[in-house]
Amino acid sequence: MFVLTWATLLLLLVVGDGDAAADGSVTQCIKGYCITVREGEIAAEAGLCVVIPCSFTTADGFTPKHLLWYKCGPSNQRCGDSNMIFHSNEGNKKVQAGFRGRVSLLQPDVGLKNCSIIINDLTESDSGSYQLRVQNGLLKNDGKADGVTFKQKVNISVKGLTQKPTVGIPPLAEGQQTTLSCTAPGLCSGSDPEITWTWRGAGEKDCPITGSITAVKTEHLTSVTRRRSSTLTFNPSAEHHGTNVTCKVSFTNNITTEETVTLNVTYVKDFNISRNTSVKEGEPLNLTCGVESFPPSLITWTRSPETHTHNQTDTHWHNNTEAFTQRERGMSTFYVLNATPEYSGRYICTAKHLERTLEQYVDVNVIYVRSPVITGSTTALEGGALNLTCAVESFPPSRVTWATTRRRGLDTDRQNGTGSAASLVIPDVAAEDSGRYTCTAEHPDGTVTAYADVTVTWPPRFSNSSRCDVRSEVVTCVCVSEGLPLPSISWPLLKNHSEYSVVTTVSGHAVNSTATLTLRDHVGTSVQCVSSNDHGEARGNLRVQQTTWDTEELSSGPVPWLQVVVAFFIGVLLSAALCCLVTRCRRKKQKISSNQDETHEMVTSEEAPLINGARAVEDDRTHYQESAQGERGAAPDVDGEPKDVLYANIDFSLLSRKSLSGAARSREATETEYAEIKKVAEEQMDNGGGEGVNASGGSMVGEDGEDEVAVYSSVKDVMSEI
């Protein structure tokens, strides 16, 4: 640059005295001697150099041989040898010591009339006015060298150094060797400056870069200009990114300058993913993925396509999420306000850095537990197998156990998985295995339970208490059967008997059926009891056994006085009732004796031999109660007296209706204690013109218009009268 400037100056045409050229130079001529220099002040900086562009012409006959430069003080009008800073004759000793070696001509050939000089290693004291003198090598009469001193001066101002080194930084990539360069300011030919490199990390002091190589290079551009530079070779890493590197240039006279640059190293480090990947159901899920890199990476969250939720279904989980990417920070956050089991699975963090793509995955687990679900039949047949399975959907897997208060030492097969399960297997169930079984799932988030009420069913079976006893020709058979569902009891052999009663009671899973009948010849006789339910039928033959009264045994035992008193009063009441019935029957007989077509009919009520459970007892008792109420509400008899009807707790359900003639008046009719007699009279009852009253409280009228009057009496008494 300076060389071109000086060449331009040499090519400038000489203009008129004091005229300024377009480049800012001015030319002055006196008597054919002209000089062209820069007009105004030339600024320079300490430590560097300054060039004073200059050219001259002389009058004809004057041949320049030496060039002299003076530095004039501000008060001097004319400079002398004492102010000499340069002499083209290098051996001249009049040059000031402070400038010796620092000033040189840009063009050593004086004949070219280029008077430009360069002053190196400037200091602020070099500021001042500089003047040119040209000598022809001849001596004057006074012995002094002949020459001409130009009045035009050049002003130079030297200030502190502000220029900085030029630092060149190529693109830096981690692990790839690179070279930094630092060029000192100025193209001066003076003393070579010293160039040093320092590295400073965050909060650290300046220090050399480890493993670096430095080299200093000097380039000679011209005979008077040189370029000084230094290189730094090293392997950049992530730790160098963002750090400062300083190039320092030191000139003579302790004049220094430096340039600090920040290194940008292209690098990418490992992923930094938050590891709080297990959350409870209902709590927030927050996944943060960060990648330290330069330039910052583009980071995104995606869900792995291989993700399977616990219930094998996938949902639109984006509806309940907030995800965003922070490129400037190299970070991405995936946020779920209310985590559910559907958010369990694998999530992938993808970082795109320049042309590289990096991936890192994380497995998310949502901790939850559901209520246990019990499958299998809770009803089992005795002797069969009970197989129940309790499954609990949870994470982590729950510990599932079975327990019951009905059975000890359960045979359990615990099967753990994503949905924990345990099987309860009882290969040969018994009736005592019925009851409540508890499935308990122990989970870190709590304990949950479920219940199964197991019912073991079994076919009927007879109890050892089933028997038949006979007392005074009255046979009482007791049949006790157990089963589930509750069995029914029937007495099929009773259909061959005309008189019997059945009373059935229920207690728990047991049915007690008591059949009572009159059997005169019971030797070798057996009564069959049949019990049945949905699972089968059981038949039992109960042999009739004679029960004897041991007088000594009866007398030897203590007799409670309360039983004696009760028995006495019952006997009195029964005797009075029988007497009343006999009296009434005789009166009725006398009143209707004129009727030749008397007809006596014995009526019994038939009742099915099969009576189920408690209903049989209730129906039996209700029958007796309604009949008694009907008699209490009956109209007065023909003799004006109300009917007094008594019932014994005996059911004549199988006693068929017969005409009381011939053999009907025989012993069969006397097997029961009481019977109902219907008497048909030809004449109307004398009840004040009213109609007759039947056994249930209503009137009964025969086919001939006469009333039927129902009375009750002892069968034995009736038979004796007949």
Q: Compute the CA torsion angle 573, 574, 580, 584 (nearest 10 deg).
A: 150
Task: Write the DSSP symbol of residue 674.
Answer: E
Which of 17-31, 404-418, 598-612 shows the lowest mean pLDDT across its residues? Answer: 598-612
pLDDT tens-place string over residues 304-342: 886 544 443 344 444 444 444 455 568 888 888 999 999
Distance CA 321, CA 335 (A): 6
Domain with CATH 2.60.40.10 in the chain: 2-159, 166-263, 267-368, 370-458, 463-551
Is the model more confident about 717 or about 666? 717
**What are the φ/ψ torsions at residue 585 (nearest 5 degrees)?**
-60, -40
Distance, CA of 719 to CA of 585 (rounded, Å):
12
CA–CA separation, 600 and 3 (whole Å): 168
Rounded to 5 degrees, φ, ψ at 128 are 155, -165
pLDDT above 90 (res 599): no
Average pLDDT, the chain: 75
Q: Annotate 112-140 with b (16+ C-beta within 10 A) or e (fewer).
A: ebbbbbbbbbbebebbbbbbbbbbbeeee
Which one has a higher pLDDT value, 78 or 95? 95
Look at residue 597 and tell me whether its pLDDT is greater than 60: no
Looking at the predicted structure, is the pLDDT value of residue 473 above 60?
yes
Is the pLDDT score of 57 beyond 80? yes
pLDDT of residue 427: 92
The predicted structure's pLDDT at residue 508: 86
Structural contact between residues 290 and 373, judged by C-beta atoms closer than 8 angstroms: no
- How far is 713 from 589, CA to CA, in rounded Å? 12
The pLDDT of 405-429, averaged and rounded, is 69
In terms of CATH architecture, what is 463-551? Sandwich (2.60)
Q: 428 near 407, Cβ under 8 Å? A: no
Q: Give, in order, the Cα–Cα distances in Å from 109 to each of 104, 116, 225, 714.
A: 12, 11, 17, 180
Ranking 319-333, 584-598, 652-666 by mean pLDDT, the lowest is 652-666
pLDDT at 74 over 80: no
Fold of 2-159: Immunoglobulin-like (2.60.40)
Of the options 3.30.930.10, 2.60.40.10, 2.60.40.420, 1.10.3720.10, the CATH number for the domain spanning 166-263? 2.60.40.10
The CATH H-level (homologous superfamily) assignment of domain 267-368 is Immunoglobulins (2.60.40.10)
The neighbour count for residue 356, using CB atoms within 10 Å, is 10
Q: State how far the Cα of 326 lies from the Cα of 333, in Å rounded to an integer.
A: 8
Does residue 519 or residue 35 have the better pLDDT? Answer: 35
What is the token pair recorded at 423?
């099987």
Q: What is the pLDDT of residues 613-637, one digit of tens each?
A: 333 333 333 333 333 333 333 333 3
Q: For residues 584 and 570, what is the distance between their CA atoms, to the nearest angstrom?
A: 22
Q: Which pLDDT belongs to residue 673?
A: 38
Arithmetic mean of pLDDT, 151-158: 92
Neighbours of 35 (CB within 10 A): 26
pTM above 0.85, yes or no: no
What are the phi and psi torsion angles at 215 (to 5°)? -150, 140
CATH number for the region 370-458 comes to 2.60.40.10
Instruction: Look at 431 and 13; give whichever has higher pLDDT.
Output: 431
Which conformational region is residue 409 in: left (phi greater than 0), alpha (psi within -120 to 50 degrees), or beta? left
Return the residue matching tokens 């965050």: 202
| pLDDT tens-digit map of 99-152 | 998 999 999 899 999 999 999 999 999 999 999 999 998 888 877 888 999 999
pLDDT at residue number 304: 85
The larger pLDDT score, comparing residue 645 to residue 481, is at 481
SS3 percent helix, strand, coil of the chain, rounded to 5, is: 15, 45, 40
What is the predicted pLDDT for the residue at 561? 54
Task: Give residue 606's pLDDT.
Answer: 35
How confident is residue 579, by pLDDT bands cut at 50, 70 and 90? confident
